[in-house]
Chain A
Amino acid sequence: MLPLHPDCSCRYQPFYKNVRENPIKNPVKSTMEKLSLNEQRQIVGSHEKLQEFRNGADIVTLFNRVRPQYPVGYYRDVLGYNGGMEKFDKYVLLDNEIKAIEEWTADSDDIKKAMWKSDFKSYNGVLAKSLFGLFDKYSTNMLIGTKIYRGLSLTDDEYKIFKYDILKKGDVYSPDTKAIVSFSRDKRVAYDFAEDGQGSNNIIILKTLSTNTTIDITQLSVLEEERETIINSNMWYNIVNVKRIGKWTIIILKKTQ
């Protein structure tokens, strides 16, 4: 944990309670609005500074002017990224990594094919390599344990080739042994990917919890509302439950240790 004060042994301790599934657009403003006028004034130091904050001044700058001996900073500036609450793109990612994520979210097919064929020399292969590099270089940018979902629709042949017809609770499963796999933090998006898919009957939803190798790429996505997160290739999970309802197969996964 980070030290709270420069000359004592206080430590920040993360405290998570009722973690929201949907991010707050402006967490500082939202938090301040929940406080009384007097509490808001105490935080920024004076009525004048509160007015500055309301006029758009950065609260950290105001805070540090009041208590210069104990400066605070944004989590992202200290650790490079911020636990999924704000953008982490411009703070840590290289241009080629940003480009790779943007192209993946625009149209992942060619990049996925390069991954499937282990082709890392073509244009798409180079993008694929940059994406794989994210998992080596960065840890997760979201709260570990966040629910993520994936919907897919397969033809009868595909369903059998990949043994979805026989998988059951207790089996060990990998969503893709060669390519990065997209999930969504929004289960309705995953459901629609399955429902609107081109497969005939066999529609699948995977649900699991994010781990330290799950990266939320929402902020760089061409469509933020898709709430896309990616997991590395060849990740293995225990199947903790399977339910088959008509054409649907719903699989609950838990990362293997």
Chain B
Amino acid sequence: MDNNNTEKNTVAFDPSLLSEDQMDSMLKNAKKTRKKVRANIKNNTLPEIPKEIDSFLSEEVA
């Protein structure tokens, strides 16, 4: 699944690649998500991170 191409890419979230509509859509979605997450935080219902993901996140950045 992981990309084996050895050429080094420069990858960036560059909003200038977005149209005005795409920008608005992303921001609107972000607003909805934030609302849900904040409700989960307030209600103490944040989901548990699955073990496979959590173990990868626990790796040291070094």
- Point out residues on A near B: beta carbons under 8 Å: 107-109, 112-113, 116, 147, 149, 153, 157-158, 161-164, 166-179, 187-189, 191-193, 195-199, 205, 207-209, 223, 225-226, 239-245, 248, 250, 252-254
- Give the B interface residue count (CB, 8 A): 47
Docked-complex contact A187 and B49, CB < 8 angstroms:
yes
Min C-beta distance of B43 to chain A, whole Å = 11
Interface residue SS majority, chain A? mixed
A116 proximity list for chain B (CB < 8 A): 15-16, 18, 23
Q: How far is the CA of A170 from the CA of B3 in the complex (A)?
A: 11
Contact status B33-A153, CB under 8 Å: yes
Contact pick for A178, options B9, B14, B33, CB 8 Å: B14
Given contacts A166-B9, A243-B2, contact A198 B29 (CB under 8 A): yes
B38 touches A226 (CB 8 A): yes
> What 10 pairs between A and B have smallest CB-CB spacing?
A198-B29, A116-B15, A174-B12, A168-B3, A109-B27, A171-B9, A196-B36, A167-B11, A163-B11, A188-B46
CB proximity of A126 to chain B, nearest CB, Å: 19
State the majority secondary structure of interface residues on B.
Answer: helix
| B41, A189: Cβ atoms closer than 8 Å | yes
Residue pairs across A and B with Cβ atoms less than 8 A apart, 26 shown, are A107-B34, A147-B61, A153-B33, A162-B14, A166-B3, A166-B5, A169-B2, A171-B11, A172-B9, A172-B11, A173-B11, A173-B12, A178-B15, A187-B57, A188-B49, A189-B46, A192-B37, A193-B33, A193-B37, A197-B29, A226-B37, A226-B38, A242-B3, A243-B56, A250-B56, A253-B61
Task: Report A-chain residues with C-beta under 8 Å of the C-beta of B1.
Answer: 244
Render B10-46 as a binary contact track against A, CB cut-off 8 A, 1 for contact.
Answer: 1111111110001110111111111011101110001
Cβ of B53: which chain A residues have Cβ within 8 Å of it? 191, 205, 245, 248, 250
Known: A168-B9, A195-B47. A161 touches B18 (CB 8 A): yes
Q: Determine the chain A residues whose CB is within 8 A of the CB of B2 once the complex forms.
A: 168-169, 242-244
Contact of A223 among B16, B30, B42, B46 (CB under 8 A): B42
